């Protein structure tokens, strides 16, 4: 069997499962097993493959066919131009979350203190540290499993000890500490949506996705608690759901803090910019 044959077979199997990106996903699996670039699958499509390679390709294709996300099958995902290791202990970093990185690197003062809570794989914190090595970067998560993934991503991308990783539920472990910029991508999906979401999402950790009170419980704790963790002139940038802007604004008002909603490239509510009231 050749590279071209197995690629066609894998792509057809994923197309039959209704996967829109079937060709790309098949190319990624085949290239991963053969340890080559996707381009080599085309330029060397007649090269023979071994039985061990085809068995592994079939096994990984079956996992994708059954709905498992490519990032977990391949073990990594690109975010902000960097390669992050991911597995089912962490949410897969999304392109829309890159907005938090842009905002943080543009707003943080030279040599400032930066904190990313609900860090998961560490994607936001590590991308910020990579772009702004002058900042002192801390990151936290309530999940020890997620912190293990973030620790190994930091070690391989920005270096061991480059990011201070702390086990914390929202701000609990940061009593008395203040930062210039804080970012958060908290769980914000309503648990009632669980059955209606894409199959791929069921492979991701519930703790990273769902929050009681229509997805608002962690958001509200952040709005209630962030002011005492900001230095003068500081800001908090928080990712929110596409339909949560109005409720974030009224929640901010109820807690006497200022909020603005920034939209993503698709024109949806995406990031809440929070500042203390005075």
Give residues in contact with ligand GLN (CB under 6 A).
Answer: 91, 94, 185-189, 201, 209, 239
Q: Minimum CB separation from ligand GLN for residue 204, in Å?
A: 7
49-69 burial, b at 16+ Cβ within 10 Å, e below that, comes to: beeebbebbbebbeebbeebb
- Which residue, 34 or 222, is less far from ligand GLN as judged by CB? 222
**Contact 207/247 with Cβ under 8 angstroms?**
no
Question: Dihedral angle at the C-alpha atoms of 146, 165, 175, 213, nearest 10 degrees?
Answer: -20
- Which residue, 26 or 79, is less far from ligand GLN as judged by CB? 79
Q: Minimum CB separation from ligand GLN for residue 219, in Å?
A: 10
**Contact 83/113 with Cβ under 8 angstroms?**
no
Q: Minimum CB separation from ligand GLN for residue 209, in Å?
A: 5
Q: Minimum CB separation from ligand GLN for residue 237, in Å?
A: 13
The β-bridge relationship of strands 258-263 and 76-79 is unpaired
Tokens for 160, please give them.
């061991």
- Which residue, 53 or 68, is less far from ligand GLN as judged by CB? 68
- Which residue, 97 or 227, is less far from ligand GLN as judged by CB? 97
Tokens for 257, please give them.
């803090």
Q: Minimum CB separation from ligand GLN for residue 251, in Å?
A: 17
How far is CA 221 from each of CA 100, 159, 170, rounded to the nearest angstrom? 19, 32, 8
- Which residue, 36 or 193, is less far from ligand GLN as judged by CB? 193
């Amino acid at each position: 069997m050749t590279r071209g044959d197995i690629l066609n077979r894998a792509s057809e199997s994923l197309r039959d499962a209704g996967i829109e990106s079937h060709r790309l996903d098949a190319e990624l699996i085949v290239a991963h097993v053969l340890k080559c670039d996707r381009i080599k699958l085309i330029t060397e499509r007649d090269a023979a493959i071994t039985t061990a390679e085809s068995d592994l390709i079939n096994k990984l294709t079956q996992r994708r066919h059954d709905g498992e996300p490519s990032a977990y099958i391949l073990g990594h995902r690109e975010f902000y131009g960097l390669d992050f290791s991911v597995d089912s202990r962490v949410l897969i970093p999304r392109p829309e979350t890159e907005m938090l990185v842009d905002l943080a690197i543009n707003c943080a003062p030279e040599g400032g203190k930066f904190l990313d809570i609900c860090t998961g794989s560490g994607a936001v914190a590590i991308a910020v540290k990579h772009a702004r090595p002058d900042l002192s970067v801390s990151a936290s998560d309530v999940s020890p499993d997620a912190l293990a993934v973030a620790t190994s991503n930091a070690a391989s991308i920005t270096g061991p000890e480059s990011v201070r990783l702390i086990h914390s539920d929202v701000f609990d472990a940061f009593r008395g500490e203040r930062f210039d910029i804080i970012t958060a991508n908290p769980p914000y999906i309503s648990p009632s949506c669980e059955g209606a979401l894409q199959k791929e999402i069921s492979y991701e950790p519930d703790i990273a996705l769902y929050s009681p009170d229509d997805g608002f419980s962690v958001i509200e704790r952040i709005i209630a608690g962030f002011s005492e963790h900001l230095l003068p002139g500081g800001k908090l940038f928080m990712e929110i759901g596409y339909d949560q802007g109005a409720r974030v604004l009224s929640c901010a008002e109820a807690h006497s803090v200022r909020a603005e909603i920034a939209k993503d490239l698709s024109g949806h509510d995406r990031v809440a910019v929070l500042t203390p009231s005075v």
